[in-house]
Structure 1
Amino acid sequence: MDAKRELVISLFLKSFRPCDILKKLKQLGINERFIFRTIKRYKETGSWKILPKPGRKRTVRSPKAIKRVRERVRRNPAQSGRKMAKELGISQSTMKTILKDDLRLISYRKQRVHGLTEKQKAGRVQRCRQLLKRHGGCEILFSDKKLFLLQDHHNQQNDRIYAAHLSDFPRDKLAVQGFQNVSRVMVWGCFSKNLKVPLLFIEPGVKINTKYYIDNVLKNHLLPIVKKHYKKTPYCFQQDSAPSHQTKATQAWCEDNFPDFISSKEWPASSPDLNPLDFSAWGYMLGKLGSTKGLTVDTFKQRLEKVWNEMPQDIVRASCNAFQQRLRLVIKAKGERFELD
């Protein structure tokens, strides 16, 4: 680095302009900011060398202490900063500075995910490989159901309020209330990269058995829409392994009425990370719903429909196009989840 600074000043003393110096030295990885700062330092101090900073040397936050913290983190990344500070005999503020400024580390919260057995992992890998081979070029129509609660969505990580004191805000602005007997709305959604099927609301108390699923969801709701949209264009229907989906009657109906579909024996079990509605659409809708305080169930349904209908097709298309890449990521991860839910 010193050689680069010396080279910049030697060209500057030969009356080269900063833009000319940049053209000559750009291939060395020198940028415009580096050139201006070096010239400014030379004009102010008469030297291109960086002078030592004033003030006393570090005592507690020394290179030795930083090295010790780095080694501890390498051995156990889950150890708390408070515990490390106590064991190393340094303050919590110093430990925080070492972790953040010196080691450039970020504290991530652990998240709860659905567990996968070894059998499930092996099954995910096997079925993902089959899906890559069998449905490589066909447009897939993804489907899923979602239970929405008529209460404000709360993100524990990102829902924050900045203030000097908590007393600056009224209590109702600081809390997100949750109720046991909150109203619920069950919806069934379906889309492909070129089609977004209108939401279907499942009435409260309805048990989605095989007959209800075939008659009300597939036959009367989905089939007329896809026939009108696709006509003779081939497509593939996807559904998860819910009990009403994997019965012999449902599988036979799908085989008779869809040009192609992913059977219950093909779709990987416990795989919400592969369904675009699970990993993309439902989260998008929760973020767009806003406050639901004071809404009736009917008004809430209208808002759900509005958010669904206004969801940009670019987002839908991108999430559908990510399917094959996610299949490869599951294979690469040997069946493990490649991202946190």
Structure 2
Amino acid sequence: MPRIQYTPQEYANMHFIYGECRGNANAAAALYRERYPNLRHPDYRVFIRVHGCFSEGRIPGSGVGGASAGRPVISNDEEIVLDEIERDSSVSTRTLARHTGISKSRIQRILKKNMFHPYHFTRVQTLQQRDYNKRLFFCQQMLAKIEEDPQFFNNILWTDESSFKRDGYFNMHNLHSWQLSNPRLMREDRSQYQFKINYWTGILNGKIIGPFELPGNLSGQSYLQFLQNDLPNLLEDVPDEVRENHWLQNDGCPAHYATQVRAYLNATYENRWIGRLGPILWPPRSPDLNPLDFFYWGCLKEEVYSKPIRNLEELRSRVQQAATKISQRRYARLLKRAFVRRCRICIRVNGRQFEHLL
């Protein structure tokens, strides 16, 4: 089947848009369709070939520079690989080699030549349809508050609870050991002998409050006792003005929503708390908007689980050491900037998941 011929101006437009899209052929094809709705719409491979022509000093479709008339012909292997990638962009080079009979190294060279890159997926929170508007309204409300009072974010005591177990999260990608020869290292996991500790932590004006060990599973009654008896002691080092005027943030945990807890918050933090049925409503399923989730717990657990943990006391000691290390710096400016950015992106996507856009 003969290849479709384009005018010199069309080739120039394609090459210009390909550069505008930073070598992303799929994005270039989409932008071309949007910008020139009444012209013929080439698929992404045309943009790759046109760019290859100009890079080699040839003019597409003209035969200038020693090329034959028409567009440059790419190898059959290249056609096969690009077709497979178009059908399934998540296919591995190993699977491609098995299905096509082309060597893995040849496939990698073809993909590199055509400027394809292996991008990773981002894990995001599962949301329900009804969550979008609540997340959108929360972000709009918070940005308005921060615009009205630049210190508003820093006056919020952001809080969260998390469990630390024997076999917790650790990043195998960053875990390595420099050796002269391969020591065949291994790491035990998923022990039948399990133990865990529940911790509460807060962040107020960039200062880490805690972590504080909670007894057993959290309930409305135990959380109320924490608010009444333990939280005031944890805030002793906070300046009086900040302690008297700060806001308290809770997420959607059932213990935070208990009737007695809400009664205490309404009496103690009158119009100064964030949570379910609070003066400012915390949106459901939104750890991506809580600094404890998008910053603190990840840093803490990566430090805690960098080495295997043998017993409960070692876990408790490791948590305290990691917390002390993280607390040596104040993060007020960085956390506020990160939170505002997340709110703006959340608004831009109408309350949907946004962490893959950061």
- Distance in 2 between residues matched to 1:228 and 1:174, nearest whole Å: 44
Paired residue type of 2:217? K
Paired position in structure 1 for 2:129 = 118
Write the distance in 2 (CA, Å) between the matches of 1:319 and 1:245. 24
Mean CA deviation greater in 86-95 or 322-331: 86-95
| Separation in 2, partners of 1:157, 1:181 | 26
Deviation of the 1:215 alpha carbon: 1.1
Q: Secondary structure at the match of 1:322?
A: helix
**CA contact 2:170–2:301 (8 Å) conserved in 1:** no
> Aligned runs of 1:39-50 on 2, under 5 Å?
none
CA apart distance, 1:267: 0.8
Q: State the Cα deviation string for residues 289-325 of structure 1 (Å, max 9, x = none).
A: 2555464322321221121122143446523442122
Query: Within 5 Å, which residues of 2 pair with 1:16-165?
Result: 62=74, 65-66=77-78, 69-70=81-82, 72-74=84-86, 76-86=88-98, 88-99=100-111, 101-110=112-121, 112-134=123-145, 136=147, 137=149, 138=152, 139-151=155-167, 153-159=169-175
Q: Which residue of 2 aligns with 1:261?
A: 273
Give the Cα separation in 2 of the matches to 1:122 and 1:212.
32
Question: Which letter does structure 1 place at the counterpart of 2:228?
Answer: K
Q: How does 1:295-334 map to 2 (within 5 A)?
A: 295-311=310-326, 312-315=328-331, 317-334=333-350
Pairing partner for 1:210 from 190, 214, 220: 220
The amino acid of 1:189's aligned partner reads: T
Separation (CA, whole Å) in 1 of partners of 2:284 and 2:138: 9
Structure 2 counterpart of 1:169, one-letter code: P
Percent identity between matched residues is 22
Matched, 1:169 2:178: no
AA of the residue aligned to 1:210: G
Cross-structure match for 2:29: none
TM-score, normalising length: structure 2: 0.66
Q: Which residue of 2 aligns with 1:222?
A: 231
Deviation at 1:239, TM superposition (A): 1.1
The separation in 1 between residues aligned to 2:238 and 2:302, in whole angstroms, is: 29
Equivalents in 2 of 1:93, 1:255: separation in Å? 65
Q: Secondary structure at the match of 2:130?
A: helix
SS in 2 for 1:305: helix
- List, as ranges, runs of 4+ consecutive aligned residues in structure 1 with deviation greater than 6 Å: 161-165
Q: 2-side partners of 1:315 and 1:131: how far apart? A: 19
Q: State how far apart, in whole Å, the 2-side matches of 1:309 and 1:287 are.
A: 14
- Asked if structure 2 preserves the Cα contact closer than 8 Å seen for 1:66 and 1:102, the reply is no
Larger radius of gyration: 1
Give CA deviations for 1:162-197 in whole Å, capped at 9, x if unaligned: 8999xx434xx2334221332111111011234321
- Note the C-alpha offset of 1:120: 1.6
CA distance in 2, matches of 1:248, 1:152: 33
Distance in 1 (alpha carbons) for counterparts of 2:168 and 2:219: 30
Shift, 1:122, TM fit: 2.7
For 1:227 and 1:178, locate their aligned partners in 2 and report how far apart those are by CA, in whole Å: 40
Contact 1:152-1:292 at 8 Å conserved across structures: no
Q: Is 1:284 paired with 2:296?
A: no
Instruction: Return 5+ residue gaps in structure 1 as ranges.
Output: 1-49, 51-60
Specify the alignment match of 2:354 in structure 1.
338
Question: In the superposition, relative to structure 1, how do residues 224 and 84 fare at CA in structure 2: closer, same or farther (>3 Å)?
Answer: same
The Cα RMSD (Å) is: 3.2
Secondary structure in 2 matching 1:222: helix
- Per-residue displacement from partner, 1:268-308 (whole Å, max 9, x unpaired)? 11111111111111111122225554643223212211211
Counterpart-to-counterpart distance in 2, 1:67 and 1:329? 38
The structure-2 alpha-carbon separation of the partners of 1:153 and 1:242, relative to structure 1 and needing over 3 Å to count, comes to: closer
1:44-64 C-alpha deviation (Å, 9 max, x unpaired): xxxxxx9xxxxxxxxxx9566
Classify the secondary structure of the residue corresponding to 1:146: strand
Quote the Cα distance in structure 1 between the aligned partners of 2:99 and 2:307: 48
Paired residue type of 2:161:
K
Amino acid at match of 2:219: N
